[in-house]
Chain A
Amino acid sequence: MAADYERTKSAIEAVWRIESPRLIAGLARITGDVGAAEELAQDALVIALEQWPVQGVPDGPGAWLMATAKHRAIDLVRRRVRYDQKLREVGRDMETRTLAEPDPDQLDDHIGDDLLRLIFIACHPVLGTEAQAALTLRMIGGLTTHEIARAFLVPEPTIAQRIVRAKRILAAKQVPFVIPAPGELADRVDSVLGVIYLVFNEGYTATAGQDWIRPELCAEALRLGRLLAGLLPRQTEVRGLVALMELQASRIGARTDATGEPILLADQDRRRWDRLLIRRGLAALAQAEQLGGPPGRYEVQAEIAACHARAASVPDTDWERIAALYVVLGHLAPSPVVELNRAVAVGMASGADRGLEIADQLAAQPALAGYALLPAVRGDLLAKLDRLDEAREQFERAAALTSNARERALFRDRAARCARS
């Protein structure tokens, strides 16, 4: 019996994960309040956890959850309407917003739009980046607070606090449950894409901790990106980001060895790259190109990733095209990190000395003073030029700067190899 109960419980949790974003989105439409919607959805889950193990899982579990939550939402709204009327009766309601009685039959017609509204709210600029990411994973990814905390390596109460505070801000600022007006759409989409890519990168190059990659975060970001691409099929940059993530994720299996040590792009066994993700990435990139318009920064980065994906080996790579794409990217999103990547590409296309010139200029500026990859790149270029003492010094500096244990081991190893040869 206990095993049966556990089985039903995990079945409920699976249904919950599949259904919760749509559930919360639909409920937010009824209540106009994302925080309340999220709580109502949680209530429905609690009821399911009580009833299903006893009565059995209903035939349409998603519909059951939606119906249960809807009833409670409508109750809530009715109570508010009545409260509203009461206030009106006592004549203190001049400012109070009147809530209309919801029509439960119309609620299923706008699921796509509702989900989109929910995504825009979770990534609303009144919230900080960390709050946006936590709220997005919670409400659209369907992750528990525990799972989000584990993924970001922060204590669970921190994430819980972050989510509570975010909901409070959204309520206090009365952020409406709407799709942004055409005039602000581009900025708001950009903000959503920023959150998704942040989640992806947190998984792809874990900035701290023992693991170099946390694939579950990458997978989460990919699913979010694909979802958004379906909801906003005409937005070039959404396709661009999906293409970029699919292409980068295609290398995950080849980026670490059996013990979890990182393997750099040049040393990866390309047969281990995921052909399905490459195919999907290239397809998304083609769709982005088809949509037209000037390429955005995600599309350009996807183009760069595509150059690697198409190449059978490092020498076979179109480094000149990559170097040129980094120039474009530098215009779209100027950053010393982009310039550093250009140094690498130029080093491959036109010789290590040319790449080193660019990297040395960066080293003369303060912007990347604490950035471990700058000395790592310089070390690599110096090693290629046979300036091994200088190279070793750079790798040691890189090892001292990184906060990722795996990366530190990698740089120390390179330093040691420079000393030996």
Chain B
Amino acid sequence: MRYLMLLSGTNPATPPPPELFEAIMKLGAEATQAGVLLDTAGLLPSVAGARVGLADGKITVTDGPFTESKELISYALYDLRSKEEAVEWAARFVKLHRDLWAGWEGTTDILQVMGPDSFGS
């Protein structure tokens, strides 16, 4: 089963320490090595993006930033056997932030990707 993980959060004033990047790379390498991490990348702040909406039959285009929500920071696509495994990988990722970047707070949302095995056992 595929799980999409979306990390969002609020960055503290301090810049992200290089140790965090190093640890994230290491965790990513571990998950790739285990054959479970299919794809991952960081996301630029929403100021670089835009939003296309539809309401009342009208299409609107708004440039970022999207101030009403927390910034999305990165995504990862995993191939796993269960939601619990997804929770474990996400927890590892969040722990790195806790241990290596004081003051950082955020969330990882785990979403199951629809697929041929979504409706089976």
Contact = CB atoms under 8 A, between A and B. Distances in A.
A14 B84 contact: yes
A18 B85 contact: yes
Interface in B106-121: 115-117, 120-121
A222 interface: yes
A227 B33 contact: yes
A77 interface: no
Interface in A249-275: 252-253, 256
Contacts of A403: none
Given A222-B35, A226-B35, A276-B38, A17 B116 contact: no
A14 B116 contact: no
Contacts, number: 62
A225 B1 CA distance: 17
Given A11-B84, A11-B88, A59-B95, A219 B117 contact: yes
Interface in A198-241: 213, 215-216, 219, 222-227, 230-231
Contacts of B39: 276
Given A11-B87, A230-B33, A276 B117 contact: no
Interface stretch (B9-17, B52-60, B75-83): B75-83
B40 interface: no
A226 B38 CA distance: 10
Contacts of B115: 215, 253
| Size category of the binding interface on chain B | 20 to 34
Contacts of B89: 18
Interface of A: 10-11, 13-15, 17-18, 59, 61, 112, 213, 215-216, 219, 222-227, 230-231, 252-253, 256, 276, 280
Nearest to A230: B33
Contacts of B100: none
B48 interface: no
A10 B87 CA distance: 10
Interface in B1-49: 1, 32-36, 38-39
Contacts of A230: 32-33, 35
Nearest to B31: A18
Contacts of A253: 115-116
B88 A225 contact: no
A18 B81 CA distance: 10
B32 A223 contact: no
Contacts of A59: 95
A14 B32 contact: no
Contact of A14 (B33, B79, B85, B121): B85
Nearest to B88: A14
A61 B85 CA distance: 13
Contacts of B1: 219
A15 B90 CA distance: 12
Interface in B56-103: 77, 79, 81-82, 84-85, 87-89, 95
B72 to A, nearest CB: 20
A189 B95 CA distance: 37
28 contacts: A10-B84, A13-B84, A14-B85, A14-B87, A14-B88, A15-B88, A17-B81, A17-B82, A17-B85, A18-B34, A18-B88, A18-B89, A59-B95, A61-B88, A213-B116, A216-B81, A216-B117, A216-B121, A222-B35, A223-B79, A225-B35, A226-B35, A227-B35, A231-B33, A252-B116, A253-B115, A253-B116, A256-B116
